[in-house]
Every structure is written in C-alpha cells, then in structure tokens.
Structure 1
Amino acid sequence: MSELDAAAHKRTEDRRAKKGGNETPFPDRRKAPRPPLAEIRRGGTLRLLPPVVVSGVVRAAEFLLIVLLGLAIYLGYVEYEGGRTHLFYLAAIFVAALGYMMIADVFGLYKVPSFNTFVPSFTRVVFAWTIVIAGLMSIAFFSKISADFSRVWIATWYVSGLGVLFAERLIVSVTARQWLKEGRLYRRAVIVGGGPEAENLIKALEASADADIRIVGVFDDRGADRVAPIIAGYPKLGNINELVEYARNSRLDLLIVTLPITAEQRLLHLLKKLQVLPVDIRLSVHGSPLRFRPRTYSYIGNVPFIDLTDKPIANWDVVKKWLFDKIVAFLAVVALAPVMALIAIAVKLDSKGPVLFRQKRLGFNNETIDVLKFRSMYVEGESPDGLEQVTRDDPRVTRVGRILRRTSLDELPQFFNVLKGDLSLVGPRPHALQSKAADKLYHDAVDGYFARHRVKPGVTGWAQINGWRGETDTAEKIERRVEHDLYYIENWSVTFDLYILLMTPLALIRGENAY
C-alpha cells in the first residue's frame, strides 16, 4: 500500500471509529484498492436508485404491512360487535401505522445508511413500534374506551408486528447491501478543479456522516506542474473535455466544482461545456468567506454548496414519467395493433423489402439507439445514417410511404421503443447520426445542441406540435427545434407531457413540413 493510500485508509478508519463502525459511502481503500486508471475511466453503468424513491418505497411497505396485519388479526379473531367497535379498530390501525412512520422518520429509519445496518436499525424499529403500541393503549385508557378493545388483538398485533418488521427490515438490509456493492444507492461524483480547495473539500466530505456520494476522481485542465496526479487520495483522471466524454460513457450523477465563486468568467466557460450533461452540478462554497442566506445552499452531508444546474427529471419525477410512458405506450400498442397490421401489409405489398426500417439515432446522453419506423422508402434509396434527408416530392419515397410520412403513421412502431426503454412518449425527437442543416452537422450548427440529450428522446415533442418538424435545410430550422426542446426540458411535468400528446393529432392533421 502506498503512503497516500495508507493515509487515506487511516482517515477512513478514524472516521469509522468515531461513528461506532458504521459504514459510509466512501470506500475502504485497503479492502477495495483503487482500480487501474483505465478501469476508473470506464466507471459504473448501473443506474442510480434515487434514495428518496427507495426511502418512499420502504415507508409505503411498512405502512401497508402494519395496516394489513392489524386488519387481518381483527377479522380473524375479534368478533364484530357493531359499527362503533368496527370504527374504533379501523381508527386505531391507521393511527398506529401513521404514528409508526412519524417516529421511524424521527429515528432516521428511512435514511439509506439505516437500510445497510440491520442490528442498530432494527433496535430502533422495536423502540418505535413499542412507543406506538404503548401510546395507543394510553389513548384508549385515558379516553375510557379501552374496554372496547381486545387485549389479545393488540398483544398479537404487537408481537406479530415485530416479526413482520423484522423480516421486512432483514430483506431491506440484504437488498441494500447488494445495491451498495453495485453502486446503486450512492451518487457517483467527480471533483472539477484540483489544488488545495479540492483537497480540503474532499476531507470535509469524507468527515461528513450523511454524505451520499462516492468520489471517483478529479478533473482539471491544468498540467502536472500545477495539479498533483493524486489529490487527497483520488487520482486526476483528465481535463474538462475528457470529463464530458467520461460522463457520456459511464454513470456519473454529480459534478462538484471547486472554483472560487468570484471567478465568474471561468465558471461561465466551464458551465458552457458541462451543461450538456444530464447530471447535477454543484459549486462548492466550503471555505469561502462569502456567506449567503441559509436557503441559498444545498448540502451534501453537512458541506454547503450552491446549485448551478439540476438533472431535468429526478427522484419521483423519474418514476412518474416511467409509469406514464409504459402505461400509455402499452395501451397504444393494444389499441393500434389492427392499424399497424394493416400498414405492415400495405408496406409489404407496395414495394420489396422489410416492413420495418431501423435507423441509428442519438438518444439519452448521446447514446446510440435503434429507432423503429415503418419503411417508407425504396430499399435502395434508404439513408441509414440520415446523411440524405427526405425532401419534398423525393423519388425515394414509396406511394404508401408518402401517406405514412405525411400522417406520421410511419412512427407508430416507436411505441415498442418506448416499452423497451430507448424512447419516452414525449421528448426531443431523436436525430440520425449524420443529420445536417445547411451542410453542417446539427451539433456544429447549434451551440449547446447536445443539451437536448439530457432527457430521453420522444415519439413526439414540443417542437413537433409547434410545426418544427421535417426537413432542416436551413440552420434556423434546427435552431428553433433546439429552442423548443430546451424549453420542454426546463419546464417538464406529467401535465405538460399529456398536453403535448393530446395536441399531437392536431399537429399531424395540419401536416406542416411533413413529406
């Protein structure tokens, strides 16, 4: 072990000793030595499970377990004695379940670290459940309704509740340990900017008990003569351009910028490069003499930051959009199956070749995806890379293809892309790899073009229902598309998605720029 690794390990051991041996999101470098630089550059690929979502699922599971268990014991043991008794039991069950959730929250039982430590967390579970049952009995006694409750019911509920919560917490603990091992429950972060500021910040983050991140390295444009290759035990992985490439090829959730808050021009230049990435960007104010109102800051553990940009869709919003996409896409496939079957027959009878056309396009975070369409062109005239766009009265388009393209019925197979997870129902339309506007590739024609890839592309989008679809023979057309795409990203909501879906048929009827 190197001196740097030994020092870092000593800091980790000292920190754990102070906290009673509880695990932290930062790795023990002795037990898990830092991998080779090439492996670090590849980074993780598994998706982050947002802690707020995991916590919410555990809350809901425990609430339902307590309620269902109380009802099951009541129905199985207590004799029904009329509406008043029935209501007393129902009220007691729901009050107890809500009370348990509130006390468990106070005890920190819904934070990710508690999921990973079974014995200490279950001890607090026992304490919380005991307080709830004792409180319920006290309320019943002082309100003089204790005679209306079965002592066997409440004793059985208490004991069986401990058993059910034991089993549930054991499952949660085993699952959380596996997810922590895979890196699903912490945010992968990099430090942008080296030097003493980065070293001090890393030390502060490592000393913070509640930090939910794991640092993978440091990126800095300065050379080895100004920034050391190892900073507080973490390697310098490259410059800012390499950071953008790294983020596109691995899972990265957070960028922490250590530049001084007063370096406005450097910050603006940096943000211009980094804002195309689907990550949170935070500016460190650790050690800064400037102080703002407390609401100005967000915190990682107890270390303050200023939010520069956020993921457009995060936490529960991810779940809502996922459910919206899957449910609506499934219903659309079922409802439109006869129409798609007829179109497939028409395509096959009209010209030789396959029914479906697959084209490589840019998806979320610049990933390459295969987008499905009904074939609307003669096979020999297809342009898989999108280099030759379809123009008005294009001879490569078949007779059936003209109808399909004008009505956008050729896009119907993309509902299968939504079910697969490559597309969303609503979002910026995915573009072919070599698409051009005025003889320039899209990313050369529009500054900040890749910022539209911070969300999944969609079957339809805000730009499309506003008439910006079809051929892009001028730079202005793609600029307007990108403007509408960025507006959508910044203002996303399920309601906005629903509005765009409802307006899409009207836009198709108008048929602007579709040929």
Structure 2
Amino acid sequence: MFSRGKGTARRERVATVVRPTRVRRFTSNVIPSLIFVVDLLCLLISMPAALLLYEFSVGLAVVPGVHTAAAFIAGVAFFLIRQSRGVYSQSLAMLRSSDAAVALDYVFAALLSSAIVWQFGLVDEFSRGLTLWYVGSCVGSLLVSRFVLRALLHRLAVGGRIRQRVVLYGADTEIVERTCRMLDLQALPQLLLVGVADDYARRSRDETVGDLPFIGGFSELLAMARDGEVDQVLIALADLTRDRLDLILDKLSEVAIDISLIPREAIALAPDYRVNFVGAIPVLTLWQRPMRDGDTLLKDAEDLFIAAVALVFLSPLLLVTALAIKVTSRGPVLFKQPRFGFNNREIMVYKFRSMYVDRQDVSGAERTRKGDPRITPVGRLIRKLSIDELPQIWNVLRGEMSIVGPRPHATHMKVGDHYYFDAVKGYAARHRVKPGITGLAQVRGLRGEIQTIERAKRRVELDRYYIDHWSLTLDLKIIVQTVANILFDKNAY
C-alpha cells in the first residue's frame, strides 16, 4: 500500500492538474513521435558532420550519389528495425529500449546497406573512410540523444507538458492498490492517476480508494472528460461480464478519451508474466524458455571449449586418480548413476567411484553422511576435492550436461522422508536447462548433504535464480568461486 505521504502528494498533483491552465499539454501518445523525429534528426545531422570530418582528416573528394543512396538505405533499414521492436508504437513507453540496442540496430542497418552497395558493384566509388565517419557519427549521436531525450521527456512530464491523466474504473481497494503498485514500478512520470470511478460502488465523493480519490460514477467521469481533465480510462475489475463491459463502453463512447482494459490475470499474476503477441493476439506469457537461439549457441560453445581444455590439462590428474582407485579397492574405476537431466529426462552421470562396490546405492535414496563408512580412503580425498566429479566432463562433451548449471540429482534422492521432487514446490523448473558439474547453489554453501526442507528449498531457489539470470559472466564467476571453494568447503565429504 502507498504511504499516506505519497497518497497526499498524489492528491495534491491531481488538484494541480484539474485546474484550468493555458499551458499547451500533450498526452503520452506524442512520445513515440518525438523519438522518431529525434532519430531522424540524428541521421540527417550526421551526414554533413561526417563529410566535414572526412574532408578535414583525409582531404579527398567523394562521389555524393553513391553515399547518399547508401545512407538512405541504411536509414530506411534502421527505422524498419526500430519499428519491428515497437519503439515507435508504444504510447506509454519512455525510451524503454536500451541505449545499446539503438546503436546495434544502426550498425546492422549500415552493414545491410554496405552489402547492397557491394552487390551492385559500386565498391570502387564507395569511400570506406567516409562510411566509417558516418556510421560513427550516427551511432554517437543516437547514443547521446537517448540521454538528452530521456532528460527532456522527464522534465516535460514532471512539468505537465506531456501527461496522460488516467482514471481507474473499478472501486475494489485491493485491485486499485495492486494496479497502482504495478504502475509505480514502471516509473512513468508522464502517467498521472486522477482517481477512481465506479457506478456500482456505494461511496461518497469524499472517500478514497487506496490513495486515490473516488470521483463518482459515469456522470462525474463524463463531466471530467468533457472538461479535458481525463485522457484515458483503465478498466480494472475482478469480475467483469460482457454485459457490464458493453455498458461501460456505451456510456463512455460519447467523449473523446482512450478506454483500455486491464485483464484480471494481469493484476492477479503481476509481475510474473510478459505481454507478447501470437500474430495479432496479445498473450500473457507466464513462463519462457530461459535460453534460446544465440544464448544456446554461446552456452554450448562455452561448455565445449572449457570441457576440451579441462580434459587436456587435467588428464594427468584423471589417470593418477583412476590408478589410485584401482589399486586400493576392487571394482570399476567409474561409477554410473541415473539422474535427472534437461527437460527432466533421465541421463547416466559418470563419477569416479568413491565407495566400496558392495555398499554403493545406485538409486541415490540413501544420503551420503559425514564419516560415511561406505566411502573408501581414496574416495574420501577425491570427494573432498571434488575430483570424483571430473568424469562428468565426458557428459559435457556428449551434450548431456554443462560446466555450470543446477546439479543433477539422483532419481530417488530424498530430503528428510520425502523425495526431492515431492518435498520442494517448483523443483521441476530446475530442469529447464542442462545440469552442471558445478552451480550457483554449490558456491553459495549448499554443496553436499541437504538435511532439511529449508535448505532444499534454498538450493532450488538458487538454481532457479541462475536459470532466470544466466549470463556468460555469471558462469565464469561460478567457475572461479568453485575453484576457490574446493580447499575450504566443509560441506563436502
């Protein structure tokens, strides 16, 4: 809930807005047009700037026709890319795309333009020096314009020059408060919540809903709209029937305002969804594949490179370990165990055998404890140093595992008296990526035996955090922390 001070401040802002004013005001729908105009000016200004810089640094004449055509093609491609991202169509967005995105979009458009010039055989008349100056000027001006435009729009919004005055229709206090929290998190200074309206609510004009004033029903809302005090109505009702929606639209259709509907699920599920489109149909995406396309290729390349390098440099250690296991206890050198892998499919995970053959538990139902008599003397050492996990490099090279990821659990692994997948809600979500030799939970002190449900939940939380925030940098940090923790980890036995 908003604090009382914030609610008071909002009501004071409302009172300021509804007074007649001579200041020319625009709604937030003008923002995409401003962004388009600024982008266009950046491209146009960059042309003479690049020519001056080129002539000053090189002093050679160029063929203007080819370069003008190339700049035009790059500009058209750039605006098409930006439009496909929705930059010029989101009326309530204030430069939502990142600063890096606009630079990358123009670089891609310039590469496309250069490819067309090459395809038509005009390379000989094309100055690479001038092209570099122009692309650099465009990228630089676009980046600088983002900072300037963001500051300008913020100032115009706070000053009331650009403002979208919104009324929430629906006087349910809980829904209003959740909607206000969602909008506050978006940090949209151009959006001003004027109040709450509802023809079915039994409230007086002096009451508040959450921290917003209750303005009344249709008649009061229409009067405000006619006086130019409302730009948009957001319908936020928990149980909205088709008949009531038709009634609202019919009553409000006589005034020139925007009418939008906040789906019930958008409020109930916030903020755990994203709005996407399947064709022209808007959908609330509740769960997304965490790694896709370029991220998947980058992750696979990372795994193959590190696994190959590790196999070469660690081969002496692998041979010595195998020999020590073979000499000190009977049985095979490697231990194979079925575990949960990517998409919850069962995989066979390899480890150096650290237990006596007749005391092993392939199912994983019996937990390994401190001072476990099943572990051999050599096994105790290699488990302490995590050397027993190194054969899983082979699983990585086979594409079944990653270097970094949630640790694969045995199919019958338990925490307390319950199986892991029954004891922890959302456990299966950790299988949305390949399991790893090491992971975020392991470097955060949750390596080894998990004795309580609380520690099991914490491990799964860290696994899910890793999945949702994966990056190459995060992987490298985990690898470095893993190496640093091996000698000092008291939870490994």
Structure 2 length normalisation: TM-score?
Answer: 0.48
Larger gyration radius, structure 1 or structure 2: 2
